[in-house]
Structure 1
Amino acid sequence: MDTAAADRPSATYDRIGIGYSDIRRPDPRLHALIGQALQGARTVVNVGAGTGSYEPEGADVTAVDPSQVMLDQHPGATKVKSGAEALPFEDASFDAAMAIMTVHHWPDLHRGLGELRRVARRQVVFTWDPAHRPELWLLEEYLPEIRDLEHDRFTLLTEVADALGAHTVLPFAIPHDFTDGFQIAYWRRPECYLDPVIRQASSTFAQLPPSVVEPAIARLRADLDSGAWHRRHADLLGRQSMDYGYRLLIAGE
């Protein structure tokens, strides 16, 4: 079913959404963590659902997204075009609401989180804390413009947790072979950032002009060719995972 369009434009994901699922493949370790948080929920609303990553098996899932391009790639039967701030559902319609790497896109975070609490008895939110250190080397060394974008759109984890009423905050360290190709995934695979297809699946890269991205990627390519990147980051090469500030928040019943 479809409802009225979202409050905010969905232009970014309408643009990057084609082929999105080829790069953004759910990681089984994150899927397991989210699945544990949703355990026992028979009805789930996935807000900012995209292509349906991390939805629990066996549950009756309603996918909500403001982008028709993304909804068209979602495999589910029940899909609603809507923004998070005005969900078209009755109070307590679902056992659980999930929102995975999406709250930073919402134009009114508090209103959206309030809607999650209104329509579901349990809320599960996966997001990133902009106050966390260390940051990904890409931001410091090549594209500080991404840092500016990220800090503008991500809200401090403490504020998100307070607004959600979260009783549990679980850290998720990013594995070196993380399969979900959002920006942080390639912290130990720097050559992947050279691929324009991979970059196109990241909303931050997609919002920056080529005049900013291309010179930065050229510098990265040169550092990889010369071995300078590997010398600077030799400490990363033996690590299996890195905590870059990604957290799973759980609230409600």
Structure 2
Amino acid sequence: MEYDRIGRSYDRYRVPDPRIAACIRRGLGRAASVVNVGAGAGSYEPTDRRVVAVEPSAIMIAQRRTPGVEVVQASAESLPFPDGSFDAAMAILTVHHWADWRQGCREMRRVARRIVVLTWDPTSEGFWLTQDYFPELLSNDRPLFPPLDALRDALGDARVEPVLIPSDCTDGFLGAYWSRPHAYLDAGVRGAISSFSRMNDVDSGLHRLAADLESGRWHARHGHLAERDSMDLGYRLVVWSNEA
């Protein structure tokens, strides 16, 4: 299982960002019961309502920060709950890891009346990291994330809204360090970003980034980003509701 191999330091580097958490809370609306599918270590689970976490990896379950939440070791494709068990289902930067994300979407629709998915649009232009150093991450031949339109259709006429990433984002996913380029040279940081584990060649991009930072080339091209508080990097919140 992928996260039994790469997920051992998520509790250190993947700290929920309060601004992203606010977007997710708005998406959940007034849901009193929530199932967190592909829950990982429990990031972004609301604390003011009933939550059940579903996670296949024992390594990730062991790192959970939310005591008192019921945890079920299972997969998104086969949720062990009756129809309509929850007001809402949430899936945060996890759909691209599922063996069959369409089946996972069907399962979420079966057990919940509202669905909130945080994902990344693979048609996005990305940012300097993916454009200049790791273009493989934007390759149409091997997309890491499901097409946004296909995901939206699988959920059923869902609305899509951009999620801006703060310059000091505390949740260390791929785009979190867009204003802190040296962070990507840290093996610990990369170890908590699943995209790197799926790449064929990480070293070449790292060597180019390190050289450009040392020579000042990166700052000459991207130093203006220091003036930005946040950026649209292609992260999207997809919300579907079948509530009366």
TM-score calculated relative to the size of structure 2: 0.93
AA paired with 1:163?
A: A
Hey, what's the Cα distance between the residues in 1 that align with 2:102 and 2:93? 16
- Tell me how far 1:151 sits from its aligned partner: 4.8
2:5 pairs with 1:15: yes
Cα distance in structure 2, aligned partners of 1:233 and 1:84 = 39
Which residue of the partner structure matches residue 179 of structure 1?
170
The reply on whether 1:63 has 2:59 as its aligned counterpart is: no
Of 60, 72, 79, the residue aligned with 1:80 is 72
Mapped partners of 1:166, 1:72: distance in 2: 36
Is 1:139 equivalent to 2:126 in the alignment? no
Is 1:156 the counterpart of 2:151? The answer is no
CA distance in 1, matches of 2:134, 2:115: 34
Instruction: Return closer, same or farther for 1:24/1:150 CA change in 2, 3 Å cut-off.
Output: farther
Q: Show the counterpart of 2:25.
A: 35
Distance in 2 separating the partners of 1:147 and 1:161: 20
Residue 249 in structure 1 maps to residue 238 in structure 2: yes
CA contact (8 A) 1:179 1:185 kept: yes
**Contact residue 120 and residue 236 of structure 2 kept, 8 A:** yes
Deviation at 1:136, TM superposition (A): 1.9
| Contiguous gaps of at least 5 residues in structure 1 | 1-9
Amino acid paired to 1:202: I
Q: Where does residue 108 of structure 2 map in the other structure?
A: 116
Quote how far apart the aligned CAs of 1:174 are: 1.0
Tell me the secondary structure at the aligned position of residue 143 of structure 2.
helix
Asked if structure 1 preserves the Cα contact closer than 8 Å seen for 2:77 and 2:103, the reply is yes
Distance 1:198 1:246, change over 3 A: same
Aligned-residue offset at 1:43 = 1.2
Cα separation, 1, equivalents of 2:219 and 2:53: 42
1:235 is displaced (CA, Å) by 3.2
In structure 2, the CA distance between the partners of 1:45 and 1:150, relative to structure 1 (3 Å rule), is farther
C-alpha distance 36-150 of structure 1, shift in aligned 2 (>3 A): farther
8 Å contact kept, 2:122–2:143: no
Offset, 1:207? 3.0
Distance 2:144 2:202 in 1: 19
Aligned sequence identity (%): 51
What is the rounded CA distance, in whole Å, between the counterparts of 2:48 and 2:191 in structure 1? 32
1:215 aligns with 2:190: no
Counterpart of 1:224? 213
- The equivalent residue for 1:203 is 194
Distance 2:203 2:183 in 1: 14
| Distance change in 2, residues 1:105/1:215 (3 Å) | same
1:149 is displaced (CA, Å) by: 8.7
Give the match for residue 96 of structure 2: 104
Q: Contact (CA 8 Å) 1:166, 1:249: kept in 2 or not?
A: no
Which residue identity lines up with residue 237 of structure 1 in the other structure?
A
Kindly tell me the number of residue pairs found equivalent between the two proteins: 240
C-alpha deviations, 1:78-135, integer Å up to 9, x for none?
11111111111000001110001111111212111010000011111111111123x1
Instruction: Supply the distance in 2 between the matched residues of 1:23 and 1:166 (Cα, whole angstroms).
Output: 34
C-alpha distance in 1, partners of 2:141/2:92?
16
Structure 2 unaligned blocks of 5 or more: none
Q: Tell me, yes or no, if structure 1 residue 54 matches structure 2 residue 44.
A: yes
* TM-aligned CA deviation for residue 39 of structure 1: 2.8
Separation of aligned partners in 1, 2:118 and 2:145? 12
- Using the TM superposition, name which of 121-130 and 69-78 deviates more: 69-78
Contact 2:122–2:144 (CA under 8 A) maintained in structure 1: no
Q: 1:152 offset after TM fit, Å? A: 2.1
Tell me the alpha carbon deviations over residues 16-61 of structure 1, each in whole angstroms, 9 at most, x when there is no partner. 2112111000000010111122132121100000011111121111
